[in-house]
């Protein structure tokens, strides 16, 4: 009697398995041998789908940026000002909590790469577009918008990363803390317009 036929392996399946490995076991768990074992294949077979570990990491960076861009775009539709800031912040926070390993494994700007992948640049530009629209809806333009967007990203990243790591042990509601922090950031951004 023949065994159960194995599902066809493609790049999408490899990336899904890599994301699951990252999100459940952490960044250090992502090796080609661990991924091959998870997929019940020999390590060399992965090279049919990814260009080694560096290629896999690049593909994951593109996937991460695409998923985050989708979340932020959806959060922004039909919203502006405070409503947009709260919605985008929550979408970003939820994304980090749902994909902690994928998110942490791809933390860096594509601008730091010597050879920029146009697919990654395209996805990061989608994220930047939503972020700049959010800052514009608060009345921030140009350099002020960039500073505001960096503050927003740092705030959400810090809070969500601490939350994922179990860094909030007190009984007070984390959702309320996050809401208050987001509103405080908005107040600070608006009040600091033109302070240069």
Mean pLDDT of the chain: 91
Least confident range of 24-33, 91-100, 103-112: 103-112
100 vs 108: which has the higher pLDDT: 100
Whether residue 6 is predicted with pLDDT greater than 60 in this model: the reply is no
Give the CATH number of domain 51-191. 1.10.357.10
Candidates 111, 26, 7, 38; CA nearest to 15 is 38
- Alpha-carbon span 5 to 46, nearest angstrom: 19
Least confident range of 60-74, 109-123, 138-152: 109-123
CA atoms within 13 A on the CB side of 180: 6
Q: How confident is the model at residue 166 (pLDDT cuts 50, 70, 90)?
A: very high
Under 8 Å between Cβ of 189 and 148: yes
- Where in the chain are the domains? 51-191
Average pLDDT of the segment spanning 46-62? 95
- Alpha-carbon span 64 to 31, nearest angstrom: 18
Number of Cβ within 10 Å of residue 7's Cβ equals 8
- Alpha-carbon span 135 to 133, nearest angstrom: 5
pTM score > 0.85 for this model?
Answer: yes
pLDDT digits (tens, 9 = 90+) for 91-105: 999 999 999 999 998
The first and second tokens of residue 188, run together, are: 């600070």
């Amino acid at each position: 009697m023949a065994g159960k036929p194995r599902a066809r392996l493609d790049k999408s399946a490899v990336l899904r398995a890599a994301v699951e490995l990252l999100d459940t076991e952490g960044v250090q768990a992502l090796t080609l041998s661990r991924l091959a074992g998870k997929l019940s294949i020999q390590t060399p077979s992965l090279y049919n789908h990814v260009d080694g570990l560096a290629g896999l990491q690049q593909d994951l960076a593109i996937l991460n940026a695409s998923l985050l861009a989708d979340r932020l775009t959806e959060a922004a539709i039909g919203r502006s000002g405070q409503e947009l800031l709260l919605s985008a912040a929550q979408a970003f926070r939820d994304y980090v909590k749902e994909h902690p390993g994928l998110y942490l494994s791809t933390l860096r700007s594509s601008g730091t790469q010597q050879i920029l992948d146009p697919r990654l640049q395209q996805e990061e530009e989608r994220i930047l577009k939503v972020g700049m629209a959010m800052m514009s809806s608060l009345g921030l333009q140009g350099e002020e918008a960039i500073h505001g967007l960096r503050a927003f990203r740092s705030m959400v990243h810090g809070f969500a990363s601490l939350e994922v790591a179990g860094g909030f042990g007190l009984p007070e509601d984390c959702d309320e803390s996050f809401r208050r922090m987001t509103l405080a950031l908005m107040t600070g951004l608006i009040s600091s317009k033109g302070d240069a």
